[in-house]
Amino acid sequence: MFLPFFVICTAWSVKAEVPQERNIKAAFIAKFIGYIDFPAVEVGSAETPLVIGVLGADDVANDLTRQVSGRSINGRIVTVRTLGPREKLDGLNILFIGVAESDSAERPLRNAASLGILTITEFDSGMRLGSVINFRMVDDRVRFEVSLPAADKAGLKLSSRLLSVAYLVQKATP
């Protein structure tokens, strides 16, 4: 369904152009929704939107808002909410934490996991701090890595199609 998009994006060269990099990250976030089973979300329940919260990356929030405006994914309207540093995460399905909040990301990542929220980050310590998905630049391309233990902790089920195009999949340690 969305697989060709991921294949194209994982091979897309961004040559460190920040606006294009942000746009690609926003596109990935919008597409991730179709590959995640959220614990407390009814598929096709259009009355309650899927809410993406963005912390520390207003430019990503703006791109994401443009990309999902007027669209529904899996039968649900998608909305984007820009968050302040201490704002509550209630009502979110996805939380993106930008590099500007990397020093204070541990607490919202922990809270999001307890609420069943898909967390996405873009900094080196993202996976170590408990993010489910983390963006990284590899050979001048936007790629993403996935933590299965973090997904399990949040009660999220990730599609094998998503995992097959991830740069790295962190599996549970024995």
Give the orientation angle of helix 18-32 with respect to helix 3-11, to 10 degrees.
160
CA pair distance 146, 169, nearest whole angstrom: 5
Confidence (pTM): 0.86
Which pLDDT tens digit goes with each residue over 96-131?
A: 999 999 999 999 999 999 999 999 999 999 999 999
- Residue 16 and residue 28: Cα distance in Å, rounded? 17
Identify whether 174 is part of a domain: no
Residue 44 clears pLDDT 70, i.e. is over it: no
Going along the chain, which residue ranges are E strands? 36-37, 50-55, 72-73, 76-83, 94-97, 118-121, 133-138, 141-147, 157-158, 168-170
Predicted pLDDT of residue 89: 95
CATH number of the domain encompassing residue 83: 3.40.50.2300
* Domain total of the chain: 1
pLDDT at 85: 87
Give yes or no for a contact between 60 and 95, defined as CB atoms under 8 angstroms apart.
no
Whether 144 shows a pLDDT value over 90: the answer reads yes
pLDDT in tens, 54-71: 999 999 999 999 999 888
